[in-house]
Structure formats: structure tokens, C-alpha cells
Amino acid sequence: MTDTLLRGRLLTFHREPADGEDTDAYTYLEDGALLLRDGMIVASGAFSDVAPTAPEAPVTDHRPHLMMAGFIDTHIHFPQAQVVASWGAQLLDWLNDYVFPEEARFADLSHAKTIASRFFDVLTDHGTTTAVAYCSVHSASAEAYFAEAAQRNMRMIGGKVMMDRNAPDDVLDTPQSGYDDSKALIEKWHGAGRAGYAISPRFAITSTPTQMEMAGALAAEHPDCHIQTHLSENLDEIAFATSLYPDAKDYLHIYEGYGLLTDKMLLGHCIHLSDREVASFAETGAHPVFCPTSNLFLGSGCFDDARMRAAGVQNAIATDIGAGTSYSMLQTLNEGYKVLQLQGQSLHAMRAFHWITRGNAEVLGLVDKIGTLDVGTEADIVVLDPKATPAMALRMDRAETLAEELFALQIMGDDRAIVQTYIAGVPQKGQPT
Ligand code: GUN
Ligand code: ZN
């Protein structure tokens, strides 16, 4: 039993704040402390209260930096790390020209392992402590992903994509092999250490009805697994998908028809939706995932957060690397703010930081484990320097409130603002500062 005491400014959320004045929604301490033991947070509060309870514990003093729960990225493609920023097309061409050839490389376990190691380094460099990832169609890619996560003791969710049509042969499975491979991966990895499995039919275009049925069977057999797919990102995609399933009322109804729509389901993008689809999200508790940098990069459109929220839908937010252009959840909030601005919607900094921590944890059903700095949760923690660059320091000198400071961090911040990332209590970046 080794205790460690972290000292610094501390911010953690109890629920989604309405605005900066909604101070009951969060705890903010100028001189806070977290006592870590065996990967867990065992005390959290004012330094003057927590420190005397652990007089022997070594103290890592992060002041004046800000400690927060680690960031959670709810939609990212692990095999797309080397096609981020590939020029010049909207969704379907971009998939065919860049993504499918790139993902074919992940049939090779040694390649998948090499990229997994670098991918996880980049995640923690950006303050991301949990992600929900799509692997390629090959079991090898998921094996590499989960093995790397296990080695780092990270709470990671992922799954091999199921796809059996409308892509090159070297990235296709079959309904039976997709089912068998997914099942074997679930049995090996789901619930092993901190890992969770996401059943991952890529999207309706690349799965036959038979494969969708198999995905539905997997979901029924493993109700505690997440399910992830893509929905209504692009108008050509919608036309193609619905033409392949002529009996479906709309795009979302394709997935509904196979029993996939539950509160464990994450659907990336959800930009162009009918009222029926929005109502169906509300009824089933399924979660749209807002991917702002991706939606801007591919010219896909603007996610209507206010419409979803008004219907009672709980949205997640994510990078969607490699259509997304930054691993940084801060930059994701920056672009997200602007996407909402274009629609006359506001994203207050307090709500923004709640979203990438506790909000995404709630969507995943993991708020008892991650997303806050509460006692009894896992010690996944990010330490932020709001003055990380000269431009940020110049701006922050005039920030008068916490909300103002956080907003500038949300707009100007990126991996340079991440001083340290703790995974289950272990610092990931060199010597802590
Ligand atoms: N739709 C189906 N697959 C993908 C993907 O890999 N990226 C994005 N942005 N959309 C998709
Ligand atoms: Zn995606």
C-alpha cells in the first residue's frame, strides 16, 4: 500500500452545470489535494484537511496547475492515426481513398502493435485517459489495442469493426467470421482488468442484413458490452445506406430493426436527423456522439446539440481521429464551441469541461469509476497549465474568474497545456512538475 498525495488547484463536477454561476454543480479548491492508493482516489478535498490524514505520503505539488478528472474520448479510430489530415474529400471518397487502404495494414499484428504503442502515448500526452475506439476489421488490431491498454492499466473500450461489403476484400470479414472474432475478443478482453468491449458494426453501408443480424445477436448475448456505429454524417452516405435497407423507415431505423438501439449504444455524428430519429434516441437512451473537428474537416455539417438536449437525449463528444484533426479534447471543445455558435447555441466553459469528463463518463455508464475526482473512483487525473504558451499566459493575466480562465483554456489549449496525466495513479509524462 503506497500512498501519494497530489496537491494543486482542484476542479471536479457533481452534475452538469447550467452556467458559471451554478456553483453547486462542481467543487473548485484553490489549494486542493488528492490522496491516491492502489490506483484509486481515497481522499479528495482541501489540502489542509487531506494532508494530515496521510502524514507519511510523498507530496507531488502541482500548484498553480489545475487537477481534473482525465479526459474521455468517446469515438476514435485507432487504425487511422496515420491518415489524420489526408486531403480533399467528403466521407465516402475519404474512406475509400485513405481509410480502407490504411486499415488493411492492421492485418499485421506487428504493425498493429507498433501503432498501438504510439497511439496510446499520444492519447496520454493529450490528457485522454479513457477512449472508445474502433479497431480495424482484423482481430490482430483489437488484440494489439487491448494488450497495449492492459500494459498501461488504462480503462479503454474498443472493438474490431464488423464489415462485410462495400469495401476492398482485405478489410472485409463475413457475417460468421465477424461474429466469431468479435465473440472471441469479448470473451478474452471484456471485463479483463479495465477493458471493455464495444460491438462495432462499422455502419449500415458496410454490413449486410445478415451481418447486422449477427451484430444484434452479439448485443443480445452480451448486454453489458457497448455498441458503436456511425449514423447520418453525410447526405450521400444517408442516401446509400437507406437504399441498401429499403424497408427501414429511416437510417436509424436500420439499427433499431436489429435490436441495436439501447443505452449502451454510441452513434457517431448524427448530423442530419428526422424528428422520428430524435424521438427514438430519447426513447431508447442511445447516445449521439458529437465529433466537431471531424464534421468540419469532412464538411459533413453541424451537430444540433440543442435539438437533442431539448428532446432529452444525452450527447457524448469525441475527436473521431482520423477524420478528426486533433487528439486534444480541449481542441475538440474549441471547434465544438464554434459549430454550436454557427447555430446560435452556446457552450459554456463549465458545461464544456463537465462534458469531456463526467458527462462522457455518464454516457458510458462509468461515472462510478471515472470522470470525477470523487473518493472511490479510479485515479485517472489530468493536470492542466492554463498558461502553457506565451499567448495563453498573456491572455490568462486578464482572466478574473475560473469560468473565464477555463474558457480561454478550452479555446486556446491543446497538449501543451497537459502538464501531467495519471493513469490509475501512475504519472505518464516523465517526472511530474
Ligand atoms: N463512417 C463509417 N466509417 C467511418 C470512419 O472511419 N470515419 C468517419 N468519420 N465516418 C465513418
Ligand atoms: Zn468514426
What the block records as the C-alpha cell of 319 is 475527436
Cβ-in-10-Å burial (0-12, 13-18, 19+) of 95 comes to: buried
Cell matching residue 55: 502524514
- Sheet hosting strand 128-135, strand order edge to edge: 71-77, 128-135, 157-162, 196-201, 226-231, 265-269, 287-290, 316-317
Q: Are 171 and 136 in contact (CB under 8 A)?
A: yes
Residue 431: per-residue pLDDT: 52
Report the separation in Å between the CA atom of 351 and the middle of ligand 1, taken as the mean of its atom positions.
27
Pairing status of strand 26-37 against strand 40-46? antiparallel
- Mean pLDDT over each residue of the chain, to the nearest integer: 97
Distance of CA 325 to the CA centre of its chain: 14
Instruction: Give the residue, by CA position, lying nearest to ligand 1 atom 9.
Output: 323
Query: Which residue CA neighbors atom 1 of ligand 1 most closely?
Result: 230
State the pLDDT at residue 433.
45
* Beta-carbon contacts of residue 169 (< 8 Å; ≥ 6 apart): none
User: pLDDT tens digits, residue range 282-329?
Assistant: 999 999 999 999 999 999 999 999 999 999 999 999 999 999 999 999
- Give the helix ranges, DSSP H, for 105-193: 109-125, 139-152, 175-189
Q: Which residues contact 135 (CB under 8 A, 6 or more apart)?
A: 78, 79, 106, 141, 142, 145, 158, 159, 160, 161, 200
Q: Whose CA is nearest to atom 11 of ligand 1?
A: 230
* Cα of 334 from ligand 1 centre, angstroms: 22
Sign of the CA dihedral 280, 283, 286, 291? positive
Q: What's the Cα-to-Cα distance from 131 to each of 14, 149, 360, rounded to whole Å? A: 21, 10, 10
Q: How far is the CA of 320 from the centre of ligand 2 (A)?
A: 5
Q: Are 62 and 215 spatial neighbours (Cβ–Cβ below 8 Å)? A: no
Averaged over 23-44, what is the pLDDT?
98
DSSP sequence for 400-416: -SHHHHHHHHHHH-SGG
The pTM of this model reads 0.98
Return the best residue to mutate from 76, 78, 91 for the ligand 1 pocket (most ligand atoms within 8 A of CB). 91
Q: Averaged over 375-393, what is the pLDDT?
A: 98
CA distance 146 to 113: 10
Residue in 310, 304, 300 with CA at minimum distance from that of residue 288: 304
- What is the number of the ligand 1 atom nearest to the C-alpha of 99? 6
Question: Once rounded to an integer, what is the mean pLDDT over residues 223-251?
Answer: 98
Per-residue pLDDT tens digits for 69-89: 999 999 999 999 999 999 988
Cβ(383)–Cβ(413) under 8 Å?
no
pLDDT on residue 1: 60
Which residue, 126, 145, 117, is CA-closest to 72? 126
Give the nearest ligand 1 atom to 322 CA: 7
User: Ligand 1: residues whose CB is within 6 Å?
Assistant: 77, 91, 95, 99, 202-203, 230, 233, 294, 320, 323
Question: Is 62 within 8 Å of 52 (Cβ atoms)?
Answer: no
Cα(95) to ligand 1 centroid in Å equals 7
- Decide if pLDDT at 432 tops 50: no
Q: Which three cell numbers stand for residue 347?
A: 457552450
- For a mutational test of ligand 1's pocket, the pick from 73, 203, 234, 297, i.e. the residue with the most ligand atoms closer than 8 A to its C-beta, is 203
Q: Which residue's CA is the closest to the ligand 1 atom numbered 7? A: 323
**Secondary structure of residue 204 in the 3-state scheme:** helix
Instruction: Identify which of 162, 230, 266, 267 to mutate to test ligand 1's pocket (most ligand atoms within 8 A of the CB).
Output: 230
